[in-house]
Structure 1
Amino acid sequence: MSSADEPRDVRVLLVEDHDMVAEALQLALDRADGITVVGRARSRAEAVPHAIEHAPDVVVLDRRLADGDALGVIAQLAAGDARVLVLTGDATPAVAVQVAKAGGAGLLLKSAQLGVLERAVRDVAAGAVVFDPELLPGVLHQLTGRGPGGGAALTARERETLDLLAEGATTDEIGRRLGVSRNTTRNHVQRVLEKLGARSKLEAVAVARREGLIG
């Protein structure tokens, strides 16, 4: 494979005003394969010009910055090609709805493990919408008023796939544990998402937990 055919790293701009937090996030993301932190802003005022300068794929945005609530700049950051993933110390479904309505691609609690953040950055860069599982049911209800209720339609193999997704297994891991090919695994995952009305693996797990399909 030539270098021109190799997938490009996900470019991330960090917007965080606490140096220790920013350094920890940058270290974790830079260590992750396929992710590169291309810049950092410390305020709402810096966020938009930094996004223009660095052209990130994903902006990891701390909700509370020294110069105010960062939700107010989501629309500007999302106006270009960047996808915005908000981090917050505490949140409610109502805040998550504000993020979604402003054009944000997701909201995670700062208490989430760094591995969860890495996966969220990849998912958001790929076009998914990622909200903390504890917040997602409320977001879906407030935005759509719908309840998926698709658990009864899942086949036995799709339920196995869902259980493995809930454990955090990757597509390759699911394939190995089920003894099926990567393409077959992808098909199982896609059908689980479709039947649960989910747009990402994290959303599928959250919906399944709400519906009582998994513990």
Structure 2
Amino acid sequence: MSGLRLVIVDDHPVVRDGLRGMLGTQSDFEIVGEAAGGAEALTVVEATRPDVVLTDLRMPEPSGGALIRLLLERVPQTRILVLTTHDTDSDVLPAVEAGAIGYLLKDAPREELFRAVRAAARGQTVLSPSVAALLLARVRPRSPGPAAKLSAREREVLALIAQGRTNREAAAALFITEATVKTHLLHIYAKLEVPDRAAAVSAAHRRGLL
């Protein structure tokens, strides 16, 4: 993937400067616009039509879920990746319901941010573990029953993924193929009833599997 066009939306100039400098280190990222609030963001995104918008939530109006909804109405092909310090119900749920494809916290490591931007551009959902846990608890508020039993190898794969290892790194550590790791992950997702890696790690911690 190359030439991902990005717009940064945040009402703090220092944050925008930091993100611009950080994202600018990646040869496949191009910062095509910035905005300090919702109204400016709508104008900039309509003019530049980026692949991904990185946006905070609490800014001059429109903001939060309302801004995300308006951005997607005007430029439907754009992916919205929330980057914020807020992970409460009142922030997360409206953003996700409005159509944000990802939700990261600002303390995420830079490599995680880079991966999230690329994943968002591909249309893949990206969630911080705390956000994934909140959404799962909301969807399934009752206490979950005993988790389906994970095999010893599935637990090993899950433990490595929880450490931030890639599929390739996990395969090398366990002396198995990357395809086998992917198969184990699919089984883990099915047993834990989760959609992705972050949610699997979060669910495993909640259920005492890690």
1:64 corresponds in structure 2 to 58
**Number of residues of Structure 1 aligned to a counterpart in Structure 2:** 208
Over residues 33-86 of structure 1, what are the superposed CA-to-partner deviations in whole Å (9 max), with x where a residue is unaligned? Answer: 643333222221121232223222221111122345333111122340122121
Equivalent residue letter for 2:40: E
Residue 22 of structure 1 deviates from its aligned partner by 0.9
For the residue of structure 2 that corresponds to 1:64, the secondary structure is coil
Closer/same/farther in 2, CA of residues 152 and 107 from structure 1, 3 Å limit: same
Give distance in 1, aligned partners of 2:146 and 2:110: 31
Distance 1:182 1:89 in 2: 34
Listed as ranges, the gaps of 5+ residues in structure 2 are none
TM-score w.r.t. length of structure 1? 0.83
In the superposition, the TM-score normalised over structure 2's length comes to: 0.85
Native 8 Å contact 2:37 2:60 kept in 1 = yes
* 5+ long unaligned stretches in structure 1: 1-6
Q: For 2:172, which of 170, 176, 180 is the aligned residue?
A: 176
Checking the alignment, whether the CA contact within 8 Å between 1:29 and 1:35 is kept in structure 2 is yes
Q: Partner of 2:149 in structure 1?
A: 153
**Residue identity matched to 2:98:** A
Q: Which amino acid aligns with 2:57?
A: R
Instruction: Identify which of 9, 19, 26 aligns with 2:13.
Output: 19
One-letter amino acid matched to 1:107: Y
2:44 aligned to which of 22, 26, 50? 50
Contact 1:93 1:136 in 2 (8 A): no
Tell whether the 8 Å contact from 1:63 to 1:86 is kept in structure 2 after alignment. Answer: yes
CA contact (8 A) 1:140 1:146 kept: no
Q: 1:106 aligns with which of 78, 83, 102?
A: 102
CA offset digits 1:93-138 (Å, max 9, x no partner): 3321111111112322222222232232233233333332223222
- The whole-number CA distance in structure 1 between the counterparts of 2:27 and 2:158 is 25
Give percent identity, aligned residues only.
34
Work out the CA distance in 2 between the residues paired with 1:137 and 1:14.
26
1:166 paired to 2:165: no
Q: Which residue of 2 aligns with 1:4?
A: none
Q: Which of 67, 85, 98 is 1:73 aligned to?
A: 67
Kindly state the Cα deviation for residue 144 of structure 1 after the two structures are TM-superposed.
Answer: 4.7
Question: Do 2:132 and 2:198's aligned partners in 1 also have CA atoms closer than 8 Å?
Answer: no
Does residue 118 in structure 1 map to residue 114 in structure 2?
yes
Opposite residue 179 of structure 1, the aligned amino acid is F
Q: 1:201 aligns with which of 172, 190, 197?
A: 197
